[in-house]
A = this chain, B = another copy of it.
Amino acid sequence: MGGRAAYIAVDWGTTNRRAYAMTAGGVVVDTLQDECGVIALKPGDYPGAIATLRDRFGVQTIVAAGMVGSTRGWREAPYIDAPATLHALGAASLDVAPDVQIIPGVALRTGPRPDVMRGEEVQVLGAISTGAAPPTALFCQPGTHNKWIETVDGAITDFATVMTGELFALVRSHGILAGMLDGPVADGVAFRDGLRRGRESQHLAAALFEVRAGVLLDRLAPADAAAYASGLMIGADVGTRADLGDRPVHLLGGGALAALYTVAITEAGGCAVTVPDGSTTAGIHAIWSSRA
């Protein structure tokens, strides 16, 4: 617990809330993680949730990012348009209550395709602010919804949200493949076979049925089906990036899914570089510093 906390940074997501007591120099001196995500809270619950954080850390000022600023959260902090910098995020932050700011998300509003993010923007730009990633880079943040994010000179210029993880969970729990995908999902021959097929197929909805046909025709061992299907879906996602040979992919987040994406990116001819933890607090700290 070295140093006195100056404010509380909150990564306030759909399911989880992570709060950090931050010094004026950007050092995390205390943390709290709980399941008070926005789906657990009604709008009237937020003042109480804020009071609890203040009591816990003994600090007044709160700067939050993530789904707390969505229409499903406390109050909407309207998206800013890409290209989006930390400075622009700070300038557009919403003063939702005395000494409580919500950082907005980023939207692709007028380009060829619409997309939105909330929370990933502070992580990406935080990684750049600490030098953990270069100002012009390609990022990947695996999750229920994988995000590919491009930055140019420290601004988020383009991104794509991919429902890979959600679709895998849906076909695993419901429909004709449910019951076939109970096996482990891990790197191995089946996962890599799936990656290859996913990259080359260009037709995910057809390739998925091959899992069932493969098992029925003894071309795919039932115990391998889940790993193969996971590879298929991640391979279809990674396979759409035509630029993997040109530059490294900066991978945000850790755990098993990030490890699978590392394999997928490598197998597709790319190079994945893991961004160390701490980018989200770094991004929030840069915004707090600019407004303090």
Binds B, one of A108-116, A256-264, A268-276: A108-116
CB contact under 8 A between A206 and B161, given known A170-B175, A171-B170: yes
Render A198-215 as a binary contact track against B, CB cut-off 8 A, 1 for contact.
Answer: 000011111111101110
B170 touches A174 (CB 8 A): yes
Render A151-165 as a binary contact track against B, CB cut-off 8 A, 1 for contact.
Answer: 000000000111110
A205 touches B114 (CB 8 A): no
A216 proximal to B (CB < 8 A): yes
Counting from the closest, the 6 A-B pairs by CB-CB distance are A114-B213, A161-B209, A170-B170, A203-B240, A162-B206, A114-B214
B116 touches A206 (CB 8 A): no
How many copies are assembled?
2
A56 proximal to B (CB < 8 A): no
In the assembled complex, which residues on chain B have CB atoms less than 8 Å from the CB atom of A145? 176, 209
Q: Which of A130-176 contact B (CB under 8 A)?
A: 145, 160-164, 166-167, 169-171, 173-176
CA distance in complex: A240, B240 (Å): 15
| Interface residue ranges, A against B (CB under 8 Å) | 71, 79, 107-109, 113-116, 145, 160-164, 166-167, 169-171, 173-176, 202-210, 212-214, 216-217, 219-220, 233, 236-237, 240
Closest to A108 in B: B213
CA distance in complex: A74, B233 (Å): 34
Closest to A165 in B: B205
A203 touches B237 (CB 8 A): yes
CA distance in complex: A167, B166 (Å): 11
CA distance in complex: A116, B79 (Å): 47
